[in-house]
């Protein structure tokens, strides 16, 4: 197996789109060699713990309403191309994602990490839920067969918060400046939401390389 490390944030629309493209390639190549691990990278590490109004966040980040619309036009186009639904009207708040990353980490311990990522993307982009809210995160945990009561108890503590922050900082120190970023085999960085065709070629190249080097 070949490690595929993915730096991502569950409120990043390009991460949502990039995962969809990768999923499509993996479904078309069920014998793919990847062992996937998701890593924390907060788009907004300085976001207040309770998050903030989404419209205020977008207009502040992109210099007003027109800037926000311009920035999100390609997101809408690529989401449609990927066959994804994003309900921007339902998304009222931009959350701090530290706790969502903690949930992804705990899900990984139980072998449910990708399920957690998928469910968080759906909760935020499709259902418009506040994935910084502990009740929402506990519900996400329950939906992927984790113990919601344990997750809720962990969320009420500082468990693994510093570890998540340290891993985020480590990625930035390694040169990661945007997400999604995919690291293939610990060596090759693939930035951005890449189409299924690129992943198909990567899989084929890895397969040919393995055949050429049986050791």
Domain that holds residue 94: 2-212
Tell me the pLDDT band of 210, cut-offs 50, 70 and 90.
confident
Write the pLDDT tens digit of every residue in 74-102. 999 999 999 998 999 999 999 999 999 99
Separation CA 5–CA 7 (nearest Å): 7
Q: Among 34, 7, 65, 20, which Cα is nearest to 204's?
A: 34
Q: Which residues pair with 189 in a beta bridge?
A: 183
- Model confidence pLDDT, tens digit, residues 107-140: 999 999 999 999 999 999 999 999 999 999 999 9
Neighbour-count burial for 140-152, b at 16+ CB within 10 Å, e otherwise: bbeebebebeebb
Q: Is the pLDDT of residue 213 over 70?
A: no
Q: How many domains in the chain?
A: 1
Alpha carbon separation from 11 to 25, 26, 44, 121, 125 (Å, rounded): 22, 23, 10, 7, 8
Task: Judge if pTM exceeds 0.85.
Answer: yes
The CATH number given to whatever domain includes residue 54 is 3.40.30.10
| Nearby residues of 208 by Cβ (< 8 Å), 6 or more positions away | none
The residue among 112, 102, 131 whose CA lies nearest residue 36 is 112
Taking only the tens place, the pLDDT of each residue in 157-179 is 999 999 999 999 999 999 999 99
């Amino acid at each position: 197996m070949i490690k595929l490390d993915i730096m991502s944030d569950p409120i990043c629309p390009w991460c949502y789109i990039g995962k969809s493209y990768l999923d499509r390639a993996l479904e078309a190549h069920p014998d793919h060699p990847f062992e996937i691990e998701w890593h924390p990278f907060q788009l907004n590490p300085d976001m207040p713990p309770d998050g903030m109004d989404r419209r205020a966040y977008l207009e502040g980040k992109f210099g007003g309403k027109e800037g926000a619309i311009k920035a999100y036009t390609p997101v809408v186009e690529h989401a449609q191309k990927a066959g994804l639904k994003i309900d921007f009207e339902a998304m009222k708040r931009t959350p701090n994602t530290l706790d969502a990353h903690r949930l992804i980490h705990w899900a990984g311990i139980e072998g449910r990490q990708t399920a957690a990522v998928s469910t968080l993307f759906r909760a935020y982009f499709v259902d418009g839920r506040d994935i910084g809210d502990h009740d929402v995160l506990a519900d996400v945990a329950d939906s992927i067969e984790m113990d919601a009561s344990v997750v809720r108890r962990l969320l009420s503590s500082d468990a693994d918060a510093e570890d998540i922050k340290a891993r985020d900082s480590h990625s930035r120190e390694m040169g990661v400046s945007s997400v999604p970023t995919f690291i293939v085999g610990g060596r090759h960085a693939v930035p951005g939401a890449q189409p299924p065709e690129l992943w198909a070629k990567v899989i084929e190249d890895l397969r040919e390389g393995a055949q050429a080097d049986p050791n």
